[in-house]
Amino acid sequence: MPQPQNDYAYDVFFSYKRHNITLDWTRRVHRLLQFWLSQEIHDREVEIFVDEDNIEAGDVWPQRLKDALKHSRCMVCVWSPSYFRSDWCLSEWQTFRKREELTNLNSHGLIVPMRFSDGENFPPEAQNVQWVDVEPYNLTLPAFWMSERSLGLEDQLKSLARSVAKTIANAPPFDASWPIVEVKASSEVRIDLAQL
């Protein structure tokens, strides 16, 4: 979808750590979330940005990702230990944290996380946030989607969709000056001042 210059293009920026083993699970989850979100938002089509390109460490952060971050109302993220070791994922998360800070939306913000695994070793800022727990459903084999356990995941995603719909409704008006925050997992947060 082309990015409008002065408005949101996406309701949700779907942030996850790409891995070949979990890619099918992630695709199914974001499609189910989009379906259930469309049941909550009745007046228009729901747009979710999901990057399925393979970005490796050392790659230049594509402008289209920066544009999608800036032009998304909120973020849904799939948290795991590898998420918090990824420069890309941390940059996406910190970009929305900065927007929350700038708009005073820290109590019920713009980030709706799912816990894929772990939780105890997340950064303190992530441990203090309420997440939707999908760890009991993080099975990556295709047979999972034919099992009764997948029904539990769908129930979780229905509940998540209600929360995301509220987050979308409470998103601040679009601001072309939203900053993009770039992070190195092992270093300090850096704000791209060119974006301010």
Neighbours of 52 (CB within 10 A): 11
| This prediction's pTM | 0.86
pLDDT for res 6: 82
If one counts the domains in the chain, the total is 1
Q: State the CATH number of the domain containing residue 31.
A: 3.40.50.10140
Q: Residue 98: which domain range?
A: 10-195
pLDDT tens column, 71-89? 999 999 999 999 999 998 9
Is 134 inside a domain boundary?
yes
Categorize the per-residue pLDDT at 137 as very low, low, confident or very high, splitting at 50, 70 and 90.
Answer: very high
pLDDT tens column, 90-107? 999 999 999 999 988 655
Is 44 inside a domain boundary?
yes
pLDDT for res 60: 57
Neighbours of 50 (CB within 10 A): 18
pLDDT tens column, 31-84? 999 999 999 998 899 999 998 755 555 555 678 888 999 999 999 999 999 999
Is 66 inside a domain boundary?
yes
pLDDT tens column, 150-176? 999 999 999 999 999 999 999 999 999
Is the separation of the CB atoms in 105 and 168 below 8 Å? no
Is 5 inside a domain boundary?
no
> Which own/partner pairs from 182-186 qualify as long-range (CB within 8 Å, at least 24 positions apart)?
182/61, 182/87, 182/91, 183/87, 183/90, 183/91, 183/94, 184/87, 185/84, 185/85, 185/86, 185/87, 185/90
